[in-house]
Structure 1
Amino acid sequence: MASLVFQQTIGSLQTAGPSCSSGCHHDSRTASVKLLSKVNKVSLGYLTTDSFSSVQKRSGVIHASKSQVSVVDTVSSPSGNIASDTPKKANEAALILIRHGESLWNEKNLFTGCVDVPLTSKGVEEAIEAGKRISNIPVDMIYTSALIRAQMTAMLAMTQHRRRKVPIIMHNESEQAKLWSEIYSEETVKQSIPVVTAWQLNERMYGELQGLNKQETALKYGKDKVHEWRRSYDIPPPNGESLEMCAERAVAYFREHIEPQLQSGKNIMIAAHGNSLRSIIMYLDALTSQEVISLELSTGIPLLYIFKEGKFMRRGSPVGPTEAGVYAYTRRLAVYRQKLDEMLH
């Protein structure tokens, strides 16, 4: 049996992507994909980390020889009666966005930002409910922030998916981390989903507000000032990030690393945060800086987009695991659900 190893698909996470203004358009710039292989080992491809604003790149697809199997390819080719979650020449792909469930600091009404706190029991329930809502939508890759509340949400949501694939966090911190996370079963790899973590998808950094009570802060600085820090587009809190600054890194990462996967036909789920997801939605829906500041995202409620012919089409939120309407959004999603029914029954 060939030795298989998951590798990080995002390349280096140490450098933030370049900025993108609110007027950026959907173009065909994509990051190329390299197959990094070892003898008798299977590697997941790396995306280059060149700036998306540099010369236009061709979309890369990982290929493998008989002795090398790409995890990116194998995770979308399940065994059983479903021929493929992602057809090789798919002309559309699903994009699911989920804001994490309620965190312990949400419950305490504290500014959280980039402080790494877990979900409450309510947040756990929200994540599970989100999973039920997307249980019949294909997922080939998952991207989360580097924060535990987003990662918990993604993992808990996938426990409800009918395909029963196992989400596995990629570890690329060191050569030893890669070695220790090797998988030695080709069949197990086929039944796994790579989970890529990226700090660029983190919540915006709230600076000196982090850990402060929101109500007490409003009394100290005034409601108008705190509202300005929280809801303006380009005014940051003290020593923190504005929404504009958050958008620069989140949208750059999306365009350079996630959009190429959608272009290759991969179905993607992103579990992240209110402001990083607002930034990405601003890009997907071509919102202005004034429109995005009024956009509110509920915790644990998934949003579905379809990527087709280079365009993003919002399909709203799946309203429940028994609601058939969401699967009629596209013929491909309806066929996928039918194949699931045939395989599982």
Structure 2
Amino acid sequence: MSSTLVLLRHGQSQWNLENRFTGWVDVPLTGQGEAEAREAGRLLAAEGLRFDAAHTSMLSRAIHTLWLALGEMDQPWVPVTRHWRLNERHYGALTGLDKAETAERHGEDQVHVWRRSYDIPPPPIEPERDDDPCRDPRYDFLDDRVLPATESLKLTLERVLPYWHDALAPALKQGRTLLVAAHGNSLRALVKYLDDVPDDEITQLNIPTGVPLRYRLDDRLRVVESGYLGDADKAAAAAAAVANQAGGGTA
């Protein structure tokens, strides 16, 4: 029995546009981000994909991307699960800072370590800040001790994997077709796991906004085929744009 999994990074957000570290802060899509989400829906519709279920994070830029894509596919009825484990990587004390200014203040080498090392997180967010997840009512049902104050990609993977094992993998083993609309780093974590990407290589992977990445999996959830939908050159250019942001990275 085969299954299909589509990973979709949210469209451009306001803080993507402003080149700021976003993480768990809830910011809206830009007009371009909304257009990217609709284009993703058109690409998925052109492939004839019919989803059994969809999954997204607790952050509105991913939720709205999913809504717009499903609307474009005329599949607004698809059951949707929102879960905090699919949230973006938490950038700790860097949250909200302009990436270029942060590089000027701390040095490009230090910021590169925080952004692109696999297992070195930025300094933790100060607990008195209003954007500390422990102060966000949407996470009131969680023990504060599971909420991150900062994360590396390694820690993000450790947060995301339980959702893969508990929610996504069982459905895929039943031959379901799933859509996951999430974030650059939570999706990077899934790609690392699915493709068994080495630690020193996954940090160089850039996932473009609004371009669906389709996986075909066998009955043991091994990758049979994967690739971005639509124009390959356009997807590559979008990924390069992510990599070339000043101080760069995902948000």
TM-score computed with the length of structure 2 as normaliser: 0.79
Which residue does 1:141 correspond to in 2?
53
Determine which of 237, 257, 263 is the counterpart of 2:173: 263
Query: Is the partner of 1:269 in helix, strand or coil?
Result: strand
Query: Is the partner of 2:79 in helix, strand or coil?
Result: strand
Which residue does 2:214 correspond to in 1?
304
Structure 1: 5+ residue runs without aligned partners? 1-90, 167-191, 321-345
Which residue does 2:248 correspond to in 1?
none
Which residue does 1:51 correspond to in 2?
none
Give yes or no for contact 1:141–1:193 (8 Å, CA) kept in 2: yes
Determine which of 85, 91, 102 is the counterpart of 1:217: 102
**2:225 is equivalent to residue 318 of structure 1:** no
Q: How does 1:189-268 map to 2 (within 5 A)?
A: 192-239=77-124, 240-268=150-178
Computing the radius of gyration from Cα coordinates, the structure with the larger value is: 1
State how far apart, in whole Å, the 2-side matches of 1:272 and 1:279 are.
11
Deviation at 1:94, TM superposition (A): 1.1
Percent identical among aligned pairs is: 45
Letter in 2 for 1:272: A
Give yes or no for contact 1:113–1:203 (8 Å, CA) kept in 2: yes
Determine which of 171, 179, 185 is the counterpart of 1:275: 185
Letter in 2 for 1:112: T
Give deviations 1:105-161, integer Å, cap 9, x for gaps: 111111100101110000000001111111121211000011000001111011121
Greater per-residue helix proportion: 2
Q: How does 1:9-88 map to 2 (within 5 A)?
A: none
Letter in 2 for 1:95: L
State how far apart, in whole Å, the 1-side matches of 2:80 and 2:180 are.
10
Query: Is the partner of 1:196 in helix, strand or coil?
Result: strand
Which residue does 1:25 correspond to in 2?
none
Deviation at 1:93, TM superposition (A): 1.4
Which residue does 2:21 correspond to in 1?
111
Which residue does 2:72 correspond to in 1?
160
Give deviations 1:272-326, integer Å, cap 9, x for gaps: 0010000000000011111111111000011000121212233201216xxxxxx
Give deviations 1:177-233, integer Å, cap 9, x for gaps: xxxxxxxxxxxxxxx211000100100100111111111100000000001100110
State how far apart, in whole Å, the 1-side matches of 2:169 and 2:198 are.
21
Letter in 2 for 1:292: I
State how far apart, in whole Å, the 2-side matches of 1:314 and 1:289 are.
22
- Please list every run of at least 4 consecutive aligned residues from structure 1 whose deviation after the TM superposition is greater than 4 angstroms: none
Letter in 1 for 2:93: E
State how far apart, in whole Å, the 2-side matches of 1:100 and 1:301 are.
9
Give yes or no for contact 1:94–1:138 (8 Å, CA) kept in 2: no
TM-score computed with the length of structure 1 as normaliser: 0.58
Give yes or no for contact 2:3–2:219 (8 Å, CA) kept in 1: no
State how far apart, in whole Å, the 2-side matches of 1:291 and 1:313 are.
21
CA-atom RMSD, angstroms? 1.0
Query: Is the partner of 2:225 in helix, strand or coil?
Result: strand
Query: Is the partner of 1:208 in helix, strand or coil?
Result: helix
Which residue does 1:63 correspond to in 2?
none
